Amino acid sequence: MPEISVLIPVYNRAAYVTSAVRSVLDQRGAPDFEVLIVDDGSTDDSLARVAALDDPRIRVLEAETNGGIASARNRGIAAARGRYTAFLDSDDVARPDRLAAQAAFLRARPEHAGVGAWIGWIDDDGKRLSRIKRKPRTYRMIAAERLFRSGIENSTAMARTEVLRAYPHDESLVVGSDYDLWARIARDHPVASLPHLLVDRRAHAEQATTENVARDRHFRCRIFAWQLDALGIDYTDADLNGHYRLRRLKKAGDRPDNAYLDWAEAWLAQLRAANRRHALYPEPEFSGLLALFWAAACWYGEPRANGLARLARNPLTRALPRGAFQGWAHRAPLVARAAARLGR
């Protein structure tokens, strides 16, 4: 039996699936593995491209109709024969040492449910770009972030198959089922990210043209909602939308006005107080993260001088030095180790 099942959901990815599968077949020093292709009703020749690779380590599950990414992942996890299941999107590429590094981590740390990694970027032709997405390295920081975003990049993740079967993807979430998955797992089990580039994500035109911020906001707000319920916080749709906006200020080029800063100041203080009562997110990491979001809102506020003045006099700012340190901790292993020592 293979030790690892590499799960690659596929839907009309004929242009990229060969590169994705080959990147797994060419792994160095990895334990025995299978490549589990879950075709989600493709109408192009994706499956023909996979068949042409003609490798006995490849297994294919086919669906007649498109059920969505969450459904495809659940079907793959149910069929996986490996002790560990590694995710890879069908347009991404695994670097040669990925499986060996992550399997070694999980063998050495039986208390951890899963492990991710940093992710690089490639263009449509497979050329590496300079962009890197660094995720928090330690469990405490990953757990602290889960009210805002996923601390695990799913296409880099490897997890214990038994854990994934206990936490199925929510198939009602058209977007963000992976964020929901890792928020639930990180609530109950330690997880981590290796500070190494182990996967490259493809930045192609199709991603840009299909991005739908309104749909993304709708489904992510559902994930925020169950966490806010657990904190005992009453909220409105406006609160959920404001919370979503906090994590997109830089990306969207947003310039919050005074009314939004008033809301953000009260909202972040409410989150901090609720967590002190219920202790759902690790401290002081959670307060440091709230301080970072408050600082970002003030920095991008219009006019900036007003935002900076508000930053200087707000009690949340007291956690900013630690929050800033946490913000850099996952960017370099030496800093990450120092941050981990501070968090003990």
Mean pLDDT of 312-317: 81
Identify the band that residue 142 occupies on the pLDDT scale cut at 50, 70 and 90.
very high
**Strand 58-62 and strand 33-39: pairing?**
parallel
Mean pLDDT of 88-104: 97
Predicted confidence (pLDDT) at residue 320 exceeds the cutoff of 50: yes
Mean pLDDT of 257-268: 94
Mean pLDDT of the chain: 90
Fold of 4-209: Spore Coat Polysaccharide Biosynthesis Protein SpsA; Chain A (3.90.550)
Mean pLDDT of 116-120: 96
Instruction: Specify the residue for token string 């906090």.
Output: 246
Identify the band that residue 316 occupies on the pLDDT scale cut at 50, 70 and 90.
confident
Predicted confidence (pLDDT) at residue 145 exceeds the cutoff of 50: yes
Identify the band that residue 323 occupies on the pLDDT scale cut at 50, 70 and 90.
low
The pLDDT assigned to 253 comes to: 66
Predicted confidence (pLDDT) at residue 342 exceeds the cutoff of 70: no
Predicted confidence (pLDDT) at residue 140 exceeds the cutoff of 90: yes
The pLDDT assigned to 214 comes to: 86
Q: Which long-range contacts (CB under 8 A, 24 or more apart) does 108-111 make?
A: 109/190, 109/192, 111/189, 111/190
The pLDDT assigned to 209 comes to: 39
Spell out the alpha helix ranges (H) of the chain.
Answer: 17-25, 46-53, 69-79, 98-108, 139-145, 161-166, 177-188, 205-210, 213-230, 237-246, 249-252, 258-278, 285-300, 304-313, 320-329, 333-342
The pLDDT assigned to 326 comes to: 65
Predicted confidence (pLDDT) at residue 212 exceeds the cutoff of 80: no
Q: In this predicted model, what pLDDT tens digit does every residue of 173-195 receive, in sequence order?
A: 999 999 999 999 999 999 999 99
Q: In this predicted model, what pLDDT tens digit does every residue of 78-91 receive, in sequence order?
A: 999 999 999 999 99
Predicted confidence (pLDDT) at residue 206 exceeds the cutoff of 60: no
Predicted confidence (pLDDT) at residue 305 exceeds the cutoff of 60: yes
The pLDDT assigned to 286 comes to: 94
* 326 or 103: which leads in pLDDT: 103
Q: CA of 264: how far to CAs of 230, 272, 277, in Å?
A: 20, 12, 20
* 331 or 101: which leads in pLDDT: 101
- Rounded Cα gap, residues 191 and 160, in angstroms: 11
- 164 CB-near residues (< 8 Å, 6+ apart): 77, 85
Mean pLDDT of 295-309: 86
The pLDDT assigned to 31 comes to: 96
Mean pLDDT of 218-246: 97
The pLDDT assigned to 252 comes to: 61
The pLDDT assigned to 278 comes to: 97
The pLDDT assigned to 210 comes to: 40
The pLDDT assigned to 99 comes to: 98
**Strand 158-160 and strand 114-122: pairing?**
antiparallel
Predicted confidence (pLDDT) at residue 247 exceeds the cutoff of 90: no
Q: In this predicted model, what pLDDT tens digit does every residue of 13-40 receive, in sequence order?
A: 999 999 999 999 999 999 999 999 999 9
The pLDDT assigned to 86 comes to: 98
Domain ranges of the chain: 4-209, 213-334
Instruction: Specify the residue for token string 């005074």.
Output: 258
Percent of the chain with pLDDT over 70: 90
- CA-based radius of gyration for the chain: 21
